[in-house]
Amino acid sequence: MSYQPILAASGFASNETTGGTLRVTTPVDGSEIAMLPEHDRAAADKAILQAQEAFRVWREVPAPRRGELVRLLGEELRAEKESLGRLVTLECGKIYQEGLGEVQEMIDICDFAVGLSRQLYGLTIASERPGHAMRETWHPMGPCAIITAFNFPVAPWAWNAALALVCGNPIIAKPSEKAPLSLLAVQKICDRALERFGDAPEGLIQTLVGGRDLGEALAASDQVPIVSATGSVPMGKVVAQVVAGRLGRSILELGGNNAMIVGPSADLDMALRAIVFSAVGTAGQRCTSLRRLIVHADVYDALVPKLVEVYRGLPIGDPLAEGTLVGPLIDTAARDAMAAALTRATSEGGTVHGGGAALTDSHPDAAYVHPAIVEMPEQSDVVHEETFAPILYVMRYTEIEDAIAMQNAVPQGLSSCIFSTDLRETERFLAAGGSDCGIANVNIGPSGAEIGGAFGGEKDTGGGRESGSDAWKGYMRRQTATVNWSTALPLAQGIRFDI
């Protein structure tokens, strides 16, 4: 099947997606959709130099005027919501509704950042010295690299880009080699916004196409003060060390192993819907996918068999088609990893419902799977790992403290939630000794965060925060200024130093 019209709708001329060395396939049917030209290290060096030059201009542009560029970007994204959403679906396999949702997130964060451009607030601080004023100001940092993962090819770019731009920083994006087209389409959208803006410096927004080596070049460059990287924990551990080695700043958004606790007082119908959306949405390939379900013994039998039944009826298929709820995995390697995890889970005492390849006759080169529920006798080794596929491990508990301890007993710390109508239990979950994750929800699943809150997680998830709240401070440098408007020169702490 030709997907050329989807590429054309995103503004790609056919000579832009042919003749290169990077083969891009669609998980929809495994076919090749592009052969893209790649950037080499010399091109990365050039891009960094250009970004540095752009920085010297952009940092002097008043922040509300910088916000105007992001406002225009939001407008252009609104106009392209359908075409970009469809391209995201084609390229990474999430259903079209979720492709649209990803673009909506981009629009939302643009709106947020426009407001923010007039609210990069500092502080005034009481000075201990007479005739002195102290203040804290936030200034632009410099070029910000944005390295992204295949499963969210555009939204995390926007969480970073919209903030970085209003904060006065040029951006250099490096999309996943598995899903580079969506960001190339976004670059085209940015170019239109830049054109309308008029006087933005050349090189303010750039996109580099390539693999890990390009990411490494950006991480290693001391001309790139901020490296925001989204992806796997092993990638993050390398990037963290490289950036720390040159005392740069990294913002890391890495893997999750997210849990839901279902208490005895939970509304089980609501819980069921939340479980299915967050465990099988994006075919279990969200960083915030629900992977562990910790269910109170009193409601286990009322919930789990129903869940198994719902799973049996899930519409699996073409993510571009109306009605599909479960699209394909990114590639056959992901399907093999899912099969291997299910084999391990069985050997660790689990009972598997579902799982296995789907649509192999109609789509032999794609990686469709039946989502799996695995009842585990305990939280064994395989449950501690993030397998990027729709596997939901289910475990039983009787005491809330044990459930919270189980929820926190994995290396990752991204998202978590509890379904309960018992206030004491939910507040326990949200208290200092409760969930150790960056995101903790009550009566909502772990996925589908709104942009208004800071997004990110602790432990192996990397500790970074993007998107809302005061995440913008991660893209600026803090300056403390003391101004002496008196005619004397008193020293702090009352120190005497007479000459």
Q: Is-contact 324 371, C-beta < 8 A?
A: no
At 24 the three-state DSSP class reads: strand
First to last CA, the chain: 85
Quote the CA–CA distance of 489 and 112 in Å, as a whole number: 43
If the CB atoms of residues 61 and 471 are measured against ligand NAD, the closer one turns out to be 471
List 80, 91, 98, 253, catalytic entry: 253
Q: Are 258 and 289 in contact (CB under 8 A)?
A: yes
Tokens 């789907």 belong to which residue? 358
- Tell me how far apart the alpha carbons of residues 429 and 420 are, in angstroms, rounded to a whole number: 10
Residue 487 C-beta: closest distance to ligand NAD, Å: 54
Which residue has tokens 């018992």?
422
80 is catalytic: no
Interaction site with ligand NAD (CB under 6 A): 147-152, 156, 174, 176-177, 211-212, 215-216, 219, 230-232, 235, 238-239, 253-256, 287, 386, 388, 414, 461
Residues 6+ apart with CB under 8 A from 313: none
In the numeric block, which tokens belong to residue 264? 């005895």
Cβ contacts of 113 within 8 Å, gap of 6 or more: 67, 70, 162, 163, 165, 166, 472
Cα–Cα distance, 218 to 50 (Å, whole number): 13
In the three-class reduction of DSSP (H, G, I as helix; E, B as strand; rest coil), residue 412 is classed as strand
Kindly state the greatest CA–CA separation across the chain: 90
CB-based burial label for 256 (10 Å; 0-12, 13-18, 19+): buried
CB 19 within 8 A of CB 36: no
Task: Give the nearest distance from C-beta 231 to ligand NAD in angstroms.
Answer: 3
Q: Which two tokens stand for residue 176?
A: 């996943």
Question: How many residues are present in the chain?
Answer: 499
Q: How far is the CB of 404 from ligand NAD (least distance, A)?
A: 22
**d(Cα 159, Cα 107) in Å, to the nearest integer?**
10
Q: Which is nearer to ligand NAD, 337 or 405 (CB)?
A: 337
For residue 218, what are the β-bridge partners? none
- Smallest distance, ligand NAD to C-beta of residue 105, A: 12
CB of 230 to ligand NAD, least distance (A): 5
- Give 72 or 280: the residue with its C-beta nearer to ligand NAD: 280
Which of residues 212 and 246 has its CB atom nearest to ligand NAD in the complex?
212
Between 287 and 400, whose beta carbon lies closer to ligand NAD? 287
Q: For residue 131, which amino acid is it?
A: G
Q: Which residue is nearest to ligand NAD (CB)?
A: 215
> Which is closer to ligand NAD, CB of 236 or CB of 319?
236
How far does Cα 103 stand from its chain's mean position? Answer: 13
Rounded distance between C-alpha atoms, residue 173 and residue 382, angstroms: 34
- Min dist CB 446 to ligand NAD, Å, is 12
Residues with Cβ within 8 Å of residue 235, at least 6 apart in sequence: 212, 215, 229, 254
Minimum gap (Å) between residue 41 Cβ and ligand NAD:
13
Residue recorded with tokens 């075919």: 283
Minimum separation from the CB atom of position 80 to ligand NAD (A)? 22
**Residue 92 neighbours by CB under 8 Å, 6+ apart:** 27, 150, 151, 152, 153, 178, 179, 182, 285, 330
Please say which residue, 106 or 414, places its beta carbon nearer to ligand NAD: 414
- Shortest distance, CB of residue 459 to ligand NAD, whole angstroms? 12
| Cβ nearer to ligand NAD, comparing 151 with 324 | 151
Angle in degrees, CA 83, 84, 85, rounded to 5:
95
Nearer to ligand NAD by C-beta: 140 or 413? 413
State the catalytic residues.
253
